[in-house]
Amino acid sequence: MTGAVTSLWRHPVKSHGREALETVILSAGRTMPGDRVWAVTHDNSAYAGGDWAPCQNFMIGTRAPALAGLWAQYDAAQQSVTLRHDTLGELRFCPDDPEDAKRFLDWVRPLAPQNRAQHNAVVKATDRGMTDSDFPSVSIMNMSSHRAVSQKLGRPLEIERWRGNIWFDGLAPWEEFDWIGKTVQIGDVVFQVKERIERCMHTAANPRTGLRDADTLGTLKTGWNHQDFGVYAEVVEGGALSVGDPVKGTI
């Protein structure tokens, strides 16, 4: 079987929207450019600023499932983000500008449950994207595994639920788990595959409506006795990567 890249995604503000790409240039030891550049703390966050921190310090889909309904567009030259939501409409803002950040916080606040900690501040790590892993990772997802989950669940699932960076097709379901501890080449980019991605309740939320409407975690548990989907990898040899590029396998 021969695999190929089917889509590329980044998420400029952690858990606040996603953007599809046609091509990206990856660098060794770095996250996907424009991915999780910013994150949003909440009222109970212990984040002190500057460095990477675990996801519990930020507003994420497990706290506010309605965030799943956001789409994003990142302008790297202007350092601005445009967010779109079916109910809230559209907002363009510069996260590093304090006044713009306040506008964003006021705009997005209705998506947070009123009985939980609220949006507090927009923050930025100094040297890497604020991914869920404690190393600068790129997440890789298998369309065959996605279809297996959809079939087990008995309904179609949107791939946006998994918030992956690189999607490929053409290989067997769960073959990506066999890559753990190995290097794999996709296009001209070489990755060291580090670990599976353990999933949270964010995957239960519909990426259009923001409502929890699919038991993704229960399906993974009953079908395969785990709650993992996708793998975290580190870029060891950078280069350009585009939709349609081949998955050349382990090397």
Binned average pLDDT, 10 residues per bin, the chain of 251 residues: 92 98 97 96 91 94 95 97 97 98 98 92 90 96 98 97 98 97 97 98 95 97 98 98 93 76
Q: Are 206 and 68 a contacting pair, CB within 8 Å?
A: yes
CATH domain 3-10+19-30+133-250 topology: M1 Pyruvate Kinase; Domain 3 (2.40.33)
pLDDT score of 249: 76
Tell me the three state secondary structure of residue 212. Answer: strand
Rounded to whole angstroms, the Cα distance separating 192 from 181 reads 7
pLDDT score of 125: 83
Tell me the three state secondary structure of residue 193. Answer: strand
Half-sphere exposure of 151 (CA within 13 A, CB side): 9
Rounded to whole angstroms, the Cα distance separating 236 from 234 reads 6
pLDDT score of 1: 53
Residues of the chain with CATH 2.40.33.20: 3-10+19-30+133-250
Q: Are 29 and 136 a contacting pair, CB within 8 Å?
A: yes
